Amino acid sequence: MDMRAESAAAAMATELTVVVPTFNERENVPLLVERLDRALAGIAWEVIFVDDDSPDGTADAVRDLARRDPRVRGIERIGRRGLSSATVEGVLASSSPYFAVMDADLQHDDERLPDMLARIKAEHLDIVVGSRHIEGGTLEGLNRQRQAISRLAGKAGRLVIKADLSDPMSGYFLMDRRVFDETVHNLSLQGFKILLDLFASAPRPLRFAEVACRFLPRQHGQSKLDSMAAWEFGMLILDKLIGRYVPVRFVVFAFVGGTGLAVHLVTLYLLSFAGVGFAAAQTVAVIAAMTWNFFLNNLITYRDRRLRGFALVRGLLTFYAICAVGAVANIGVAEIVYSDRGILWLAGIAGAAIGVVWNFAVSNYLTWRRRTG
């Protein structure tokens, strides 16, 4: 390419990529593009929609627009869900020096984008965050309950990041691509909270600014922030707090095991009290505890891989089998430690530790096997 052609091409290169994760946002897509066109006049921009095979045909709506407007691009992912991972893949598919992330549903105030871009450049920042919690920002798009949850989640979020962000739950921000590249390998990628993940995973404290944003009510479609999103958020916080030392899932599993022990003892006492012989009472108590553990793990620990229907029965049976072997290992190890050291509590703890590690490792693999596809 000669130099003139090269500099002409460089002049056309996009400066800002707007990454928009979508799930069932068909009606919002054309409206958002129209709004971006107005808000970003004079800036070389593009938008990348990352759609998780929405049943409403959002990806088709994106392709329709893309055929007419080269600034519109789409990525469609099949068999996967997740706001964070969709966002990250959108950024990875772009090469602009700056990218912004926003909802498709027109809840984020697109008119702030030029300001955000001007600020990141003028102040040499890593990221500019749209905040609903500083002077001028609003939360009118959330009902009272969601507002309270959002504030609480913000507090939890600030536990795991070093920055004093007023709105770590924001889904609206603009970032320097180079900083993203330094961070992307450390991201948890779980769930909803990509901004929090970026701050928590960056190799150094991010230089940031906040701009006040209105958070408007949704016009079309529904929010996808449900109890699953809340669960993923909790796991993300735990992962950032303790994930470096132990897997979060193991901690939750062990906690569930602790409640199972309580179930065991209560059952044992109640049955003995009712006159049932020890061996029978102990057997029933063991089964009660295993069953309790299975269902609680299925509800909480493996919320994201929850078994239902026939898989639930199959899962329960494998779980019984695994725990039976775990119990044998537990007793075996406890005996060895006891005969070696003669310390009762040490033997008990050693046995229980082996039991819980075994149960976790094997049930993680057999009972709640990750479905690949």
Which parts of this chain interact with ligand GDD (CB under 6 A)? 21-23, 25, 50-52, 81-83, 86, 103-105, 107, 150, 169, 171, 192, 223-225
Q: Does 126 bind Mn ion (CB under 5 A)?
A: no
Q: Which is nearer to ligand GDD, 148 or 349 (CB)?
A: 148
Q: Which is nearer to Mn ion, 108 or 240 (CB)?
A: 108
Cα–Cα distance, 204 to 183 (Å, whole number): 9
The residue number whose beta carbon is nearest to Mn ion equals 103
Least CB distance to Mn ion at residue 218 (A):
6
Q: Does 110 bind Mn ion (CB under 5 A)?
A: no
Cα–Cα distance, 22 to 59 (Å, whole number): 9
Least CB distance to ligand GDD at residue 77 (A):
7
Question: Binder to Mn ion among 58, 85, 107, 367 (CB under 5 A)?
Answer: 107
Least CB distance to ligand GDD at residue 180 (A):
17
Q: Which residues contact 327 (CB under 8 A, 6 or more apart)?
A: 286, 355
Cα–Cα distance, 306 to 293 (Å, whole number): 14
Q: Which residues contact 325 (CB under 8 A, 6 or more apart)?
A: 358, 362
Q: Which is nearer to ligand GDD, 131 or 330 (CB)?
A: 131
Q: Does 103 bind Mn ion (CB under 5 A)?
A: yes
Q: Which is nearer to ligand GDD, 189 or 288 (CB)?
A: 189
The tokens describing 310, both together, are 């026939």
Q: Alpha carbon of 136 to those of 122, 132, 160, 301: distances in Å?
A: 22, 8, 26, 40
Contacting range for Mn ion; rule: CB under 5 A; set: 78-86, 103-111, 191-199, 262-270? 103-111
Beta strand 173-176 with 98-101: parallel, antiparallel or unpaired? antiparallel
Site for Mn ion in 352-371 (CB under 5 A): none
Cα–Cα distance, 217 to 215 (Å, whole number): 7
Least CB distance to ligand GDD at residue 46 (A):
17
Q: Which string of DSSP letters, residue by residue, matches 203-256?
A: SSPPPEEEEE-BBPPP-SS-----HHHHHHHHHHHHHHHHTTTS-HHHHHHHHH
Q: Does 105 bind Mn ion (CB under 5 A)?
A: yes
At residue 340, φ and ψ (nearest 5 deg) are -80, -45
Q: Which is nearer to Mn ion, 14 or 87 (CB)?
A: 87
SS3 93: coil
Least CB distance to ligand GDD at residue 373 (A):
16
The angle that helices 248-273 and 227-242 make with each other, rounded to 10 degrees, is 110
90: partner contacted, choices Mn ion, ligand GDD, none (Cβ within 5-8 A by kind): none
Contacting range for Mn ion; rule: CB under 5 A; set: 66-74, 106-114, 205-213, 226-234? 106-114
Least CB distance to Mn ion at residue 367 (A):
35
Q: Which is nearer to ligand GDD, 170 or 363 (CB)?
A: 170
Least CB distance to ligand GDD at residue 207 (A):
22
At residue 209, φ and ψ (nearest 5 deg) are -135, 160
- The answer to whether 360 and 250 have CB atoms below 8 angstroms apart is yes
The residue number whose beta carbon is nearest to ligand GDD equals 171
Q: Where are any strands of DSSP class E within the chain?
A: 16-22, 45-51, 72-76, 98-101, 127-131, 173-176, 208-212
What is the residue whose two structure tokens read 């992962």?
A: 239
Q: Which is nearer to ligand GDD, 60 or 270 (CB)?
A: 60
Q: Which is nearer to Mn ion, 105 or 167 (CB)?
A: 105
Least CB distance to ligand GDD at residue 137 (A):
12
Cα angle for residues 312, 314, 320 (degrees, 5° grid):
100
Q: Which is nearer to ligand GDD, 46 or 103 (CB)?
A: 103
Least CB distance to ligand GDD at residue 84 (A):
9
Q: Using CB under 5 A as the criterion, which residues of the chain lie in contact with Mn ion when the complex forms?
A: 103, 105, 107
